[in-house]
Structure formats: structure tokens, C-alpha cells
Structure 1
Amino acid sequence: MKPVSIAIIGSGSAAFACAIQAVDRGARVTLVEAGEVIGGTCVNVGCVPSKILIRAAQLAEQQRRNPFAGIADAEPAVDRPQLIRQQQARVEELRAAKYQHILDTTPDIQLLRGRARFADAHTMSIARADGSEERLSADQFLIATGASPALPPIPGLADTPYWTSDDAVFADQAPEHLVVIGSSVVAVELAQAYRRLGSRVTVLARSSLLFREEPLLGEGLTRAFEDEGIRVLGQTQASRADYRDGEFILDTNSGQIRGDRLLVATGRNPNTADLGLEAIGVETGPGGAVRVDESLRTSVPHIYAAGDCSDMPQFVYVAAAAGTRAAINMTGGEARLDTSAMPAVIFTDPQVATVGLSEQEAHVRGIETDCRVLELENVPRALANFDTRGFIKMVAEAGSHRLLGVQVLAHEGGEVIQAAALALRNRMTVEQLADQLFPYLTMVEGLKLCAQTFAGDVKRLSCCAG
């Protein structure tokens, strides 16, 4: 029997996860990539380089100030160009190992260079850089074109040399004063990183930091930022942006803000505008995100979508999981992607980590809740670290006490949240979670302690009470 032919637009995490799974199931795959490099956002300009930048900045801050009485603080000597060279080398290493090596060793995955557009529901037209055009037909298609930084409609902004996150992660010098427009994941991560690399930083938040999350998270992170000298201007919007004599000038409702660099981090828009989707009946939602069901199918049954171009959550691990499941469904299987217990981490310090429903989200769904908040001064690991910034909040269903969601603000909070995700996935109650064995002097022990607060006061427990 002739193998299934699959055409994938894009070459990022969703695309490669789909391609690998599909060829393992007997399909032949063609990837179509319009950019200069393969690998998509995560490895090239997103997760990998940004987390290297954030970690370097964290180590610089630990030199600058630490909580231990016997260790002297010292201003770090930051060689930004050298850091960039190391960062870029790791990016290239991972791109070669995780993407190019797959192409080189998997004959059933072919790469075509060019810009794809659907000519009809079973055929794509691929415009090559030399001006030629190629037609590609396939049995099944995956749209995995990712997303690009969004630009807010601020008069004058487009005429300035503003940074997007793509620029900020590879800038070879830390600015004297970085102004950040935005208040969500990328904005807060990069704002703190540049503060720790030596810049003055001002954040303009249209509402408040992390306004889509549990309010306690944004409030706690704002306090942490202000303690580090980051100026956070809430309820602030720019009405005009100009650039004169090497300086950005922003007119805002909080006054005029000036800085030598401006980072615009107000989200990302799906790269779907030029694919010809409307003509073939593929439905899109706000911003052009491709609508998919739990099987990753679009409104056209043999066309799938995954990653940041779809209406799934914009996380690389969701993209990869979606690509894998799409491949299974393209090749005769039945797979679904359930994001109800999807953990998420924001790599600030303290980190923000969430899974499941917030208290507000539960109420919107008509679920009555019982909630507890455990301040980190009650977690032995935080006390031993001399860093009690943050909390753990647990949301349970009233009556049954079934766990609905967890929100964490803590140093290395991302290392805590997966245990909560597993508890949520297994529909545990807070009493069942409180009864589990957790290793003493770990941050994840805070989950057990928070669960125990539903039955009593943890201040009355011994230090490692079971």
C-alpha cells in the first residue's frame, strides 16, 4: 500500500514532532520552510536563548546580593559579547542535534525551501527565493507556521528602532535604561534579566503584571521587581512613541518616559495571513489563529494545525505534543490533546508556575471552591534558603476537596508545579495529596504543607511532620 504523504508548513517543534512520529508510522513527509534556518522560535530566538540569558542574569544578581551573612556581595563583571557567543554556540549546537541531524538521518523526511500557500485543499504552491514556483500535493497537511511578535497600535512606534524579544535575547550590550511595553511572560522575564545585567528598567503595564493570572501572582511579582529596583507603572499606556538623538520618548498617561532602548513585548500573532486559508475553508479565530479540535484537525478534515499558529496554548511542549498527536491521527490512529492539567512556568525569580484552574476561573465555570494560600515562610526549604518571597495557592472544589488548580510564586517554582499537575491529572483530593510522602527540605514539600492547611494550622506542625 502506498504510504501516506504528509506536507508540513514550518520546521519548528510542532513540525518536527509530527514528522518524526509520522515516518515512524510509515508515512513520507515533506517540510516546507520559508526562513533561513530550521528549528522555529524555541531553539533559535525563544526558549533556549532566553533561558540562557535569564540564568546568566540570575548568577550575576547572586554575586551582587545574596542573603547569607558570611558571603560578601560584589558587583559582577558582565562581558555581554562573550555571553552572546556562548549563548549562540549552544543554540547552534541544539539546532544541529535536534533538527538538522533528524533531516540528515531520516530519508523519509524531505525539506523544501520556500514560502507555501494553498492553491487548493490538496495542493500547495511554493515560491522559492530564486523566483521559481513548485507545486506540492499531499494526502494530509499540517500547518505549523508559528507566530511573530505583535506590534501595538502606538502612533510613531513603527518608525523607531524598537526591540522585539527576538532582538533583546541577542543584544550585545545592556542598555543604560530599558523601557518595556508589556506585562506578560516575555515582558517580565526580559525586564528582570536586563535589570540584573546592569540596566535601569521601567515596565509599562496596560493593567498590571500578569493580569490574566491569579491576582496574587502579579502582586507578588511586582513587589519582587520593585525590591530589585525595577520601576513598574501599572494602568499605563503609551499614546505616542518617538526616537530622537539615540533616545526613545514615550508619551503616557503616567507622564513622559525616556530610555535608550525600548522592548515591545505585547504578545505574538500567528503566521497565517498569507497561507490562503480562507479560500480553502480553514477557519481562523482572533488574530488569525487556526481553530483546531482535540484531534488537532481544522475545519477541513485532512488539514491539521499545531503550535503557536493554532488556538492551542502557546508553549513549545504543547506544540510538540500537538504535532505528535496530529501525526497519529493523520496515519489512522486516534489521539487527543487534553490541556486541562497543563503546567506553565514564567522564568522570573521568584518563578511563577500554574496548573489547572484559578479561583476566578473556577467561579466562571460555576464551581464553588475552597482555597488556601501558604506563605513561603512556612516552607522549610525557603527558610533554609533565606528566601521566603512568594506563596503556594491551592484551589479545591468545595465539598469534595478535589484539587482544581495550583498557583505558585517561589524560587524554582517551576520544579514544584509538575507534582501538582500529576495530582490534578489523577483527580486527587487535597487530603490525598496531604497524605503523600514528600522529601524534607525541598520546595515541592510546600505542596503537602499547603494541602495540610485544609485540615489545620501548619504552624503547629513539627518541622518535618507527616
Structure 2
Amino acid sequence: MAQYDVIIIGSGPGGYVCAIRCAQLGLKTACVEGRDTLGGTCLNVGCIPSKALLHASHQLHEAQHNFARMGLIGDAPSVDWSRMLDYKRDAIEANTKGIEFLFKKNKVDWLKGWASIPAAGKVRVGDETHDAKHVVIASGSESAPVPGADVTVDEEVVVSSTGALELSEIPRTMAVIGGGVIGLELGSVYTRLGTDVTVIEYLDGITPGQDAEVAKQFQKLLKKQGLSFVTGAAVSKVERTDDGATVHYAMRKDDAAKTLDVDVVLVATGRRPNTDGLGLDALGVSLTNRGQIAVDDHYKTSVEGVYAIGDVIEGPMLAHKAEDEGMAIAEILAGQAGHVNYGVIPGVIYTHPEVASVGITQEQAEEAGTKIKIGKFSFMGNGRAKANFAADGFVKLIADAETDRILGCHVIGPMAGDLIHEVCVAMEFGAAAEDLARTCHAHPTYSEAMREAALDCGDGAIHA
């Protein structure tokens, strides 16, 4: 039985970052992980493998549609699915091995197995119980079922995002239940690979919570790429058939019953906290009405010495949000003042074009009665974007009408996930739109579109 200052349960982005930061701050640290590899859902069956397939399928799209326009003449490549999966697995291994190296470098002990917490200050892993002054739960999330529907995920025909990353072959047809980030990213992958993809969404539009103008443009561009959408539809049942599966759903506006026959069904209706087996009920850890672990402003649970971060607590289920919380709780436990600015956490959808956002939407500002001004700039006015066949989309900057302080930004366009961080830094320092507009941006870059949107909050963009 070992004695630790901190034991972290889970080695996803929140857990492994927390462990490394704790060790850097001089705390004797261990991290519990039951998988054969570190990195949690994100590195093994989430962020990293999905981005690998998004990258590979986008390269195929470029070869099929844009190479000839650039004078690159030749037959478009064919898809070797097994080799593409090998490429994805190589990306996973490189990243998970990297975390293992960082643990060794920082002297973090990897306790291999699945954890439970029999009492405050105790963590059981297999047959051993370890003592810890502090226990941090960072066990992440798992795919959520379709609410109120008869749907059984078998990871063969009816799959979660995990199964969608390991299909034995590229399907001819696919239904995606859920028009959120995961469903649209994986739906985009398979559309590029030749699958006929239909997205079925309960609400009347995709990407709930996204700026409405961006969401509308996003759906329009995805339809142009070949995805089909059925919105305002409630799925009631998925039935396995000899040839695949039948999705049963009803249109919410008139209860009209519909069916869709497909080879594969991807269930992408969100995620839920992964806390089974930890013994939280017996321990007395309080949960929210949504089944998340309730914590205070310093990530303390209702049990002394037990903390929680990441997907198991309230807030967006994002790897980088979990990482920030992992850093914060490590610093708090080391006697420092850890903090997360939840008003400046970006969100990204890694389709092509990408979609990125930070801060408030126009709709949120209007609901709150906040007087705002909006600066917009289309990538059609950006020289680099036009040269690279990437001119779809726009930047939308939201600033306070009186103070000019930046309140939010929403981007649909090339490299949006990287561009958004310029605004994140600006918001962290309380910058005004004019500050961004007066900052020199290199030419020709996509980032000039950010400056033009800031200029549009004032006298107007130059290239609009």
C-alpha cells in the first residue's frame, strides 16, 4: 500500500494534465487508468483518432476536387480502408506513448487497473488500496443513449463514436442520430469516403447552442458537400435487419411516422459522466439532477478530500476545459490560486470548413438585454482563402456597444479552430475590438479576416 499526496482517477486530458502539474509542483502523484494505454477517451477513441480520419478524408476530397484546378493532373487516389485505419492507430500510439513518457519524466506513478473509492483518502485498484491526502476524479464520459428510444448499441451495425472509428468496411449508407459535433465530424468523414449519410436531429437545426447564423450557414455548406438532414425528428427505435438497420422516427410538427433503411447507424446524441464502479453512492458523493458530480468553486465534492474535474462535472464536455481544470485543481492542492475562466473556453468543430466559437452568441446577448455591435467579414474577401479554395464562411465578432469590449466571436471557415485563439487571448486581457483592429496581421493569412471583422465593429472593413 502506497501513500500519495494526490491520486487522480482517469488519464484523459483532465487527469493526465492534472497528474503532471501536481508532480511539477512537488506533490507525490499517481494516476489510475484501466486501459492498456494512457490518454483516456480523447487520445484512444475520441479527439485524436477522429482528427486523423478527418485529415485523411479531407486529403482525399482535395485530390478529387481541387488538385486538377491547381494543375496537379492524375487519377485521384483510391481508398485503402485498412491502411487508413492503420494510420489512425499510429496516430493514437504516438500520442498515448507520449503521455507514458511524460509520466516517467515527471515521476508520476501509473496505477494500472480500475479504481474505486472505498473511503475518503483511499483508492482501491485491483486488490490493493492506496492512501492519498487528496483524490481527484477525472474519469471522463461515455456515449449517452438516445433519450426515450429503443436503441441498442452493438458497435457493429448500431455504433457509438467508438465503433464508428473501427468499422470493418466503409458503409454505403449511414444514419447519424444527433446533429452535434461528434455526429457531424464523423458524418463528414464518411461522406468524403463515399457513404450516403443522413443526419437525424430532434431539434429544428444542427449544433444546438451555436450562433444561429453560423449554424444555418454550416448546415448549408454540409448539404453542399453531400450530407442529408432530417431536422425536427424524434427517433423512437432502431431495428437490426439482415442488411443493416431500420431507423424509426416521427416528425415533431405532425407526428408523421418515417423509416430509414441504412447499413450503419451512428448514435451521437451526446455524452454522460462515466462514474460507474467508483462507489460514489456508498461514499456519499452528491450528484446534480443530471447525474454529474456536484462540486464547489474549488472542485471539492461533498466528501472531504475528494475532488472532481472534467466531463464528470458541470460545463462543456471538452478536453481543453478538463485540462484547464486539471491545472487549476493541481495548483489549488499545492496551495496556489488555481482558476479557470469559463467565459473564455473555445469550442471547435473539425469539419471543413471548421467552426469555432468563444464567448456569447448574438442570441444570448439579445436574451440578456446586452447592447452589442457586430463586425462581420466574409472569407470571400480574404486573398489567402480564395487562392486555397477555402473562401466559404465568415468571421462574426461581437463587442459591447458602449465599451467596445469583445464579448464573443464565431468563425466558420479555414483554420477556424486556430484563428479563434486570437480572440481568446484578447478576451482574457479585456481587449476592445479596436485593439484587435489596430494590431498588424501578416499578409496573406487567414487571420486577416479576424482583423477585418474587428474593423467592421468600427468604421468598416477594408476588403468588404
TM-score if structure 1 supplies the norm length?
A: 0.91
**Aligned residue runs from structure 1 range 207-356, under 5 A:** 207=203, 208-253=205-250, 255-356=258-359
Is 1:35 equivalent to 2:35 in the alignment? Answer: yes
* Cα pair 2:198 2:228 within 8 Å, conserved: yes
Single out whichever of 280-289 and 417-426 deviates more from structure 2.
Answer: 280-289
Give the whole-Å Cα distance in 2 for the aligned partners of 1:462 and 1:204: 39
* Cα pair 1:374 1:393 within 8 Å, conserved: yes
Give the whole-Å Cα distance in 2 for the aligned partners of 1:103 and 1:16: 8
Shift of 1:77: 0.2
Is 1:140 equivalent to 2:138 in the alignment? Answer: no
* Partner of residue 165, structure 1: 161
* Cα pair 1:154 1:240 within 8 Å, conserved: no
The amino acid that maps onto 1:97 is: G
Shift of 1:75: 4.3
* Cα pair 1:66 1:73 within 8 Å, conserved: no
Shift of 1:70: 4.3
Single out whichever of 348-357 and 216-225 deviates more from structure 2.
Answer: 216-225
SS of corresponding position for 1:437 = coil
Single out whichever of 413-422 and 303-312 deviates more from structure 2.
Answer: 303-312
Is 1:152 equivalent to 2:132 in the alignment? Answer: no
The amino acid that maps onto 2:143 is: P
Give the whole-Å Cα distance in 2 for the aligned partners of 1:239 and 1:296: 38
Cα pair distance change 1:220/1:282, threshold 3 Å: same
**Aligned residue runs from structure 1 range 39-438, under 5 A:** 39-66=39-66, 68=69, 70-71=71-72, 74-98=75-99, 100-107=100-107, 109-126=108-125, 128=126, 133-153=127-147, 155-158=149-152, 161-207=157-203, 208-253=205-250, 255-438=258-441
Question: Across the two proteins, how many residue pairs are aligned to each other?
Answer: 453
Single out whichever of 136-145 and 61-70 deviates more from structure 2.
Answer: 61-70
The amino acid that maps onto 2:397 is: M
- 1:203-227, CA deviations, whole angstroms, 9 ceiling, x for partnerless residues? 1111111121101122111111111
* Cα pair 2:395 2:450 within 8 Å, conserved: yes
The amino acid that maps onto 2:17 is: A
SS of corresponding position for 2:20 = helix
SS of corresponding position for 2:84 = helix
The amino acid that maps onto 2:197 is: V
- Over the matched positions of the two proteins, sequence identity in percent amounts to 28
Give the whole-Å Cα distance in 2 for the aligned partners of 1:202 and 1:58: 19
Give the whole-Å Cα distance in 2 for the aligned partners of 1:82 and 1:103: 30
SS of corresponding position for 2:373 = strand
Single out whichever of 448-457 and 378-387 deviates more from structure 2.
Answer: 378-387
Task: For structure 1, list consecutive stretches of 5 or more residues without a partner in the other structure.
Answer: none
TM-score if structure 2 supplies the norm length?
A: 0.91
* Cα pair 1:415 1:444 within 8 Å, conserved: no
Cα pair distance change 1:462/1:13, threshold 3 Å: closer
SS of corresponding position for 2:167 = coil
SS of corresponding position for 1:237 = strand
Kindly report the root-mean-square deviation, in angstroms, between the aligned alpha carbons of the 2 structures.
2.3
Give the whole-Å Cα distance in 2 for the aligned partners of 1:123 and 1:113: 16
Cα pair distance change 1:155/1:334, threshold 3 Å: closer
Shift of 1:295: 2.9
Give the whole-Å Cα distance in 2 for the aligned partners of 1:93 and 1:389: 33
Give the whole-Å Cα distance in 1 for the aligned partners of 2:82 and 2:46: 19
Task: For structure 2, list consecutive stretches of 5 or more residues without a partner in the other structure.
Answer: 252-257
* Cα pair 2:173 2:197 within 8 Å, conserved: yes
Single out whichever of 297-306 and 66-75 deviates more from structure 2.
Answer: 66-75
SS of corresponding position for 2:311 = coil
* Cα pair 2:9 2:136 within 8 Å, conserved: yes
- 1:56-89, CA deviations, whole angstroms, 9 ceiling, x for partnerless residues? 0101111121283745585430101011112212
Give the whole-Å Cα distance in 2 for the aligned partners of 1:379 and 1:200: 32
Cα pair distance change 1:395/1:296, threshold 3 Å: same
Single out whichever of 178-187 and 59-68 deviates more from structure 2.
Answer: 59-68
Give the whole-Å Cα distance in 2 for the aligned partners of 1:56 and 1:170: 15
Give the whole-Å Cα distance in 1 for the aligned partners of 2:112 and 2:309: 20
Give the whole-Å Cα distance in 2 for the aligned partners of 1:187 and 1:7: 34
- 1:433-463, CA deviations, whole angstroms, 9 ceiling, x for partnerless residues? 21111112211111111111223343xx369
The amino acid that maps onto 1:295 is: H
The amino acid that maps onto 1:179 is: A
SS of corresponding position for 1:253 = strand
- 1:367-413, CA deviations, whole angstroms, 9 ceiling, x for partnerless residues? 22222332222333223334321111111112112110000000211
